[in-house]
Copies of this chain bind each other. A is one copy, B any other.
Amino acid sequence: MNHFQIFGLRTNLIKPGDTLLDHIFTALQNQNLFFKEHDILILAESAVATAQGRVTPLSGIIPSDHARKIAKQYDIDPALAEIVISESDVIVGGIPGFLLSIKSGHLLPNAGVDGSNAPEGYVTLLPSDPDALARNLRMTILEKTGFHIAVLIVDSRTHPMRYGSGGVAIACSGIPAVIDERGKHDLFGRELKVTRRAIADNLASAAELIMGESNEQIPAALIRGFDIEFGDYEGIELISPDECLFIGSLKKAYVNPP
């Protein structure tokens, strides 16, 4: 089918320790929506992290000298710098206000540590084990409803040299995150060279359009009618810095300028 729909799910305020699915089922009911076979449920990582209790106060954090140095260099709160460093596998660098981290193979600002939509003086961390959580939610929904639903946990990212944040999936369960079209043919019957479609990231971006980042309290979305193969697909494959057009190129460009 050549058409699909996106619904925003407005929930009550999600608090640490809440059962996220209860919020989702309530939101669906309030909007007179009910899961259908092959719906795709999109959850904002901030809501997931909050329910998991992945919320930390900045007060009481004692920044290391290293954290203080980085905080000064990039003009961020030393306590935040300390948390970002502890959450990051690598700090690649930064610009004023942000550090660029690598965490579990993901390249992201501040290792996903975020002050917005956390209580005053607190920050939310990335969800712990989002893959396992997405799979668990998918299975729970299957048990409760009998429907095969895909579950994505999504975060915001920017594209290089562009303003504004879009969506990426940090977990994807029940559909393939990426569809590899290499081997398919183009309009003129030629084999496509490199064409992988970032299905999960595009679904995340579509959901971001309706989820909102401010006080809309729409931390989830339901995508209905999207034509994709459902099954026991799990996880998101990431690439190494050197395989990456941006990082690979820039590294070469800056390390050995042309």
Contact = CB atoms under 8 A, between A and B. Distances in A.
Main SS at interface, chain A: mixed
A53 interface: no
A10 B3 CA distance: 11
B206 A202 contact: yes
A65 interface: no
Nearest to A213: B195
A72 interface: no
Contacts of A13: 187
A58 to B, nearest CB: 13
A168 B163 CA distance: 11
A160 B247 contact: yes
B218 A2 contact: yes
Given A116-B186, A162-B168, A164-B199, 17 more contacts: A2-B7, A2-B210, A92-B250, A93-B258, A95-B245, A100-B249, A116-B193, A159-B198, A163-B196, A165-B198, A189-B215, A195-B214, A202-B206, A206-B206, A206-B209, A246-B247, A250-B250
B187 A209 contact: no
A197 B203 contact: no
27 contacts: A2-B10, A4-B5, A92-B250, A94-B245, A95-B243, A95-B244, A97-B193, A100-B250, A107-B160, A116-B192, A116-B195, A160-B246, A160-B247, A161-B240, A162-B239, A163-B237, A164-B179, A165-B197, A167-B202, A167-B205, A181-B214, A185-B214, A187-B215, A189-B215, A206-B206, A246-B250, A254-B254
A91 B245 CA distance: 12
A162 B179 CA distance: 13
A132 interface: no
